[in-house]
């Protein structure tokens, strides 16, 4: 018995090492969405809007390509990404919507009043349900959804200048043209 208990720590460690080895396999990137979600229909959501009494719902936004950004006032990288979103929102062809993930509405509102509001509309995902449906790994995350409502691209973590210029905008141009 004593012997078995003494084996426990090394056993647990080997399991952990197995996970680590798995996470290091070539091609794994925690920033990538599993391919299963790509090109699937975006999960349905119908959220209260942060400002006013409106709703922000998937079906109401269909018809044109869409950029959905999950953010929260408590998230440090969101602040880092914010100026980029502000610039992005100024481009005519970008429909940028925000989802305030697990955040009190008053905190989200304050966050946006400090830094500026780049979104055309913001859904309040207080309990994180919609984030869960999308498979949000951590905030910020950004999704590109095409006119038919299919997820075409996912960005985990703060957007970078390069990601916007080389991936997001070209993708939107392609989606808008087709």
Partner 1 sequence: MIVELGHFCLILALFVALIQSTVPLVGAARRHVGWMATGRTCAIAAFLLIALSMAALMHAYIVSDFSVVNVAENSHTDKPLLYKVSGVWGNHEGSMMLWVFMLSFCAAAVAVFSNNLPPALRARVLAVQGMIGVGFLLFILFTSNPFLRAVNPPANGHGLNPVLQDPGLAFHPPFLYLGYVGFSVAFAFAVAALIEGKVDAAWARWVRPWTLASWCALTIGIAMGSWWAYYTLGWGGWWFWDPVENASFMPWLVGTALIHSSIVVEKRDTLKTWTILLAIVTFSLSLVGTFLVRSGVLTSVHAFATDPARGTFILLLLLVAIGGSLALFAVRAPKLQGGGLFAPVSREGALVLNNLLLSCGCATVFLGTLYPLFLDAMDGPKLSVGFPFFNRTFVPLMAPMILAVGIGPMLAWKRGDLLGALQRLWVAYIVAALVTLAIFYVTYGGPVLAVLGIGIAVWLAAAVVTEWVERVGLFRISLADSFRRAIKLPRAAYGMSAAHFGLAVFVAGVSASAFSQEGIEVLKAGGSMKLASYEILLERVEKIPGPNFTADRATIRISSGGVAVATVYPERRFFPLQKQTTGETAIRTNLLADLYLALGEADAEGNWTVRAYWKPLVPWIWIGAAIMAFGGLVSLSDRRWRVGAAARARRSAVAAPAE
The footprint of partner 1 (CB under 8 A) covers 2-3, 6-7, 9-10, 13-14, 16-17, 19-24, 26, 30-31, 33-34, 74-77, 79, 102, 110, 113-116, 131-132, 135-139, 156-157
Name the minimum Å distance from CB 144 to partner 1: 17
CB 177, min distance to partner 1, A: 31
- Closer CB to partner 1, 24 or 92, in the complex: 24
Q: Which is nearer to partner 1, 133 or 167 (CB)?
A: 133
User: Min. distance of Cβ 15 from partner 1 in angstroms?
Assistant: 10
Residue (of 130, 159, 129, 127) closest to 144 by Cα position: 159
**DSSP assignment string, 38-68:** TTSBPPP-EEEBSSSS-EEEHHHHTTS-EEE
The CB-of-154 to partner 1 minimum distance in angstroms stands at 10
CA 126 to chain centre: 15
Cα–Cα distance, 4 to 108 (Å, whole number): 52
Shorter beta-carbon distance to partner 1: residue 113 or 178: 113
Nearer to partner 1, 111 or 119 (CB): 111
Work out the burial of residue 86: count CB atoms within 10 Å of its CB; fewer than 13 is exposed, 13-18 middle, 19 or more buried: middle
């Amino acid at each position: 018995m004593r012997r078995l208990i003494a084996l426990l720590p090394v056993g647990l460690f080997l399991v952990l090492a197995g996970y680590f080895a798995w996470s290091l396999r070539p091609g794994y990137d925690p920033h990538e969405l599993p391919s299963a979600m790509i090109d699937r229909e975006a999960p349905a959501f119908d959220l209260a809007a942060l400002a006013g009494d409106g709703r922000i719902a998937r079906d109401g936004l269909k018809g044109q390509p869409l950029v959905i950004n999950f953010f929260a006032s408590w998230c440090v990288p969101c602040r880092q990404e914010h100026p980029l979103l502000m610039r992005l929102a100024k481009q005519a062809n970008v429909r940028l919507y925000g989802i305030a993930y697990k955040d009190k509405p008053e905190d989200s509102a304050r966050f946006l009043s400090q830094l500026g509001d780049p979104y055309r509309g913001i859904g309040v995902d207080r309990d994180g349900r919609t984030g869960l449906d999308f498979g949000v790994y951590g905030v910020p995350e950004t999704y590109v959804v095409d006119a038919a409502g299919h997820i075409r691209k996912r960005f985990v973590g703060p957007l970078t200048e390069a990601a916007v210029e080389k991936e997001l905008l070209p993708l939107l141009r392609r989606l808008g043209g087709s």
